[in-house]
Amino acid sequence: MSEPWHILGAGALGSLYAAFLASAGANVTIVERNADRQDKPAGNTAPGTRKFSVSSPVAELQREFCINTSRADDRSEIKRLLVVTKSYDAVAAVSSVRHRLTDTSDVVLMSNGSGYQQEVAQTVSKPRYFYCLSTEGANWRCANALLHAGSGTSRLGSTDQHGAPDWLPLWQHAIPGTRWEEDIEGALWMKLIINAVINPITALAGTQNGELNSDPVLSAKVASLCKELSVLTLASAHPQLAGTVEREVRKVIAGTASNRSSMLQDIAAGRPTEIEFINGYISAEAKRLGVATPCNDALASDIAALEAETTG
Ligand code: KPL
C-alpha cells in the first residue's frame, strides 16, 4: 500500500509538496481547518478533494492533481504529517489534530522562522518531530494554478537524535534536492537568515527575489544586512557559518529569482506576515547576545508598520 501523508497548511508551498509526494505515489491527504480556507485558491472543487495544476519548469512537471481532503476533527490516525502553515499558526494547526497523533506518528515542521518549533513540541508532545528547511519557491499564478517558480533544496533533520526516518527514500525520490542534514540546528539558523534578508526587502520593494542580486540599490542593502548577520552568527551557537552568510543568501536569491517571497505574497494579500518569527526572532537573539543589528531591527519595524496598514 502506498505511504500515507497528511499535509496541514496547503498554501503554495504546501500544495507543491503535496504534488511532489503524490507524483511519487504517496497517498496524500490535505487536512482542512476553517482557518485554512484563506490559503485555498478561489473557485475550488468538489467536497472531499482539492484540484489544482502544477507547472514546474524546474522539475519538468506539468500536471493536474486531485488530492483528497479530510477535516482536522476526523478521528482516523495520522501516521505522517507535514506542517506548512504560517509560523504564527503552527501551534494551533498541530493542536487541531492532536487527537489523531500517537507516539508512532512523525511530524515534519516546515514553516519559516524560529521559536515556534519548541512551542509546538511542548504543546503536542506525543509524536516524533522532524524539521524540513525548504528553499523552493512557489506561488499561485491564478486560482488552482500553481507555479513552481524557483528550485531549491529540502533539508531534513531532527534535533532529538532520531536517525534518518524510514520515509526518507520516498522524499528523496519525490522532492528534488532532498537530503538528510546532521546539523539541522545550523541549517535552521541559516534558513532563518536567508528569510530575514530576502523576505522583508522584497516585501518592502515589491520585487521578485532576483532583483536583490541585480538591482544595485537592493543588492547593497542585502550586502549590509548580510554583514550585520555574519557578526551575529559569529556570536551565535553556529560561528562556523559566519563566513558563508552572504554566499548562501545570494545562492538562494539566484535559485528563486523569479519567485515572489512569501512575505511579499502575504503583504499583497493583506495577510499577517511572519516577521515576528523571522526578523523579530533575530532582534531578540541579538539582544540576548549583546550584538547590535540596526538594519535587521529597522526592517522588522518597517514591515510591522506596513502590515498594520495592509491588514487594516
Ligand atoms: O522561503 C522563502 C520565502 O519566500 O518564504 C524563499 C526561500 C526566500 C523563497 O522565496
- Say which range, 39-48, 73-82, 127-136, has the weakest mean pLDDT: 39-48
Whose cell is 488552482? That residue is 144
Q: Work out the average pLDDT over 34-47.
A: 52
Q: Work out the average pLDDT over 272-295.
A: 98
Residue nearest ligand 1's atom 5 by CA: 262
Tens of pLDDT along 216-228? 999 999 999 999 9
Rounded to the nearest angstrom, the distance between the alpha carbon of 253 and the centre of ligand 1 is 9
Whose cell is 519559516? That residue is 112
Q: Which of 86, 191, 251, 287 is catalytic?
A: 191
- Say which range, 13-22, 42-51, 199-208, 227-236, has the weakest mean pLDDT: 42-51
Rounded to the nearest angstrom, the distance between the alpha carbon of 59 and the centre of ligand 1 is 18
pLDDT of residue 229 exceeding 70, the answer is: yes
Work out the pLDDT band at 123, boundaries 50, 70, 90. Answer: very high
Whose cell is 509560523? That residue is 87
Q: What is the pLDDT of residue 47?
A: 64
Q: What is the pLDDT of residue 43?
A: 46
- Say which range, 150-164, 240-254, 294-308, has the weakest mean pLDDT: 150-164
- In sequence order, the β-bridge partners of residue 128 are 106
- Out of 155, 208, 209, mutate this one to test ligand 1's pocket (max ligand atoms within 8 Å of CB): namely 209
Pocket of ligand 1 (CB under 6 A): 112, 135, 137, 195, 198-199, 209, 252, 256, 259, 261-262
Q: Which atom of ligand 1 is nearest to the CA of 195?
A: 8
Q: What is the pLDDT of residue 46?
A: 55
CA 32 to chain centroid, in Å, comes to 18
pTM: 0.90
pLDDT of residue 39 exceeding 70, the answer is: no
Q: What is the pLDDT of residue 73?
A: 94
Q: Which atom of ligand 1 is nearest to the CA of 265?
A: 4
247 versus 136: the higher-pLDDT residue is 247
Rounded to the nearest angstrom, the distance between the alpha carbon of 195 and the centre of ligand 1 is 6
Rounded to the nearest angstrom, the distance between the alpha carbon of 132 and the centre of ligand 1 is 13
Residue nearest ligand 1's atom 4 by CA: 261
40 is catalytic: no
- Out of 16, 211, 212, 252, mutate this one to test ligand 1's pocket (max ligand atoms within 8 Å of CB): namely 252
CA distance 264 to 84: 17
Tens of pLDDT along 64-113? 999 999 999 999 999 999 999 999 999 999 999 999 999 999 999 999 99
Work out the pLDDT band at 137, boundaries 50, 70, 90. Answer: confident
Rounded to the nearest angstrom, the distance between the alpha carbon of 210 and the centre of ligand 1 is 12
The H-assigned helical ranges of the chain are 12-23, 90-95, 116-123, 168-174, 184-205, 211-214, 216-235, 245-255, 262-268, 279-289, 294-310
Q: What is the pLDDT of residue 248?
A: 97
Q: Work out the average pLDDT over 235-262.
A: 96
Q: Work out the average pLDDT over 122-130.
A: 96
pLDDT of residue 10 exceeding 60, the answer is: yes
Decide: 150 and 137 in contact? Cβ < 8 Å.
yes
